[in-house]
Amino acid sequence: MNIVLIGFMGSGKTSVGKGLAKELSFNFIDTDLSIEEENQTSINNIFGKYGEVYFRDLETKKLVSLKEKAQDTIISTGGGIILREKNIDLLKEIGIVIYLKTSATTIVNRLKYDNTRPLLAGNNKEEKVNEILGFRESIYEKAADYIIDTNNKTISQIIDEIKEQEFNEDISD
């Protein structure tokens, strides 16, 4: 069984994924980190040199390979993975999809000093977050089997909430 975490940049997918994998003794993979490792460069560089479409192709390829290989794995995804319908189908085939739902205000606070997200680079971070999240919110919700609200919660509270979901009964203590 695999669990896939989706959600906006800064929603905690990587931290929650790592912690959850540790607690459940699952494997962990982060699609962004894995793409960076395989290409030996940062997401910023991939966007800058080859553009977003190229990066999205890498994401789709990564999901195809995960569909074949992933077992007992928590998979944290890049925030834009849901932009392609084909990716949503792949996510659902890979595992149970959990949306870490986070408000624009929380995201802007968390990413105030971040410069690793090319889509939020430059000024007007707040405007960009509002616009992109506004567009994506319903897509995340539709793609998800479960929705966990992460606002005002610690990473370990979010992990506990995921572990309380009914699908987890057979794998948690």
Query: Taking the CB of residue 51, how many other CB atoms lie within 10 A of it?
Result: 11
Identify which of 111, 130, 123 has the alpha carbon closest to the alpha carbon of residue 9: 111
Structure tokens at 3: 């669990």
Smallest distance from ligand S3P to CB 70, Å: 18
Nearest CB to ligand S3P, comparing residues 70 and 107: 107
N-term to C-term CA, the chain = 16
**Residue nearer to ligand S3P on the CB measure, 54 or 171:** 54
Q: CB under 6 A: which stretch of 21-29, 91-99, 113-121, 142-150 binds ligand S3P? A: 113-121
The residue range among 19-27, 62-70, 112-120, 122-130 that interacts with ligand S3P, by the rule CB under 6 A, is: 112-120
Report the residue number, 7 or 95, with the smaller CB distance to ligand S3P.
7
Return the number of the residue (43 or 90) whose C-beta is nearest ligand S3P.
Answer: 43
Task: Return the DSSP state at 167.
Answer: G
Strand 96-101 to strand 3-6: parallel, antiparallel, or no bridges (unpaired)?
parallel
Residue selected from 70, 78, 95, 96 as contacting ligand S3P according to rule CB under 6 A: 78
- Single out the segment in contact with ligand S3P by CB under 6 A; choices: 72-80, 87-95, 143-151, 164-172: 72-80
What gap in Å lies between CA 142 and CA 146, rounded to an integer? 10
What CA–CA distances, in Å, run from 128 to 58, 91, 117, 131, 172?
24, 26, 11, 5, 38
Footprint of ligand S3P (CB under 6 A): 9, 13, 32, 43, 78-80, 117-119
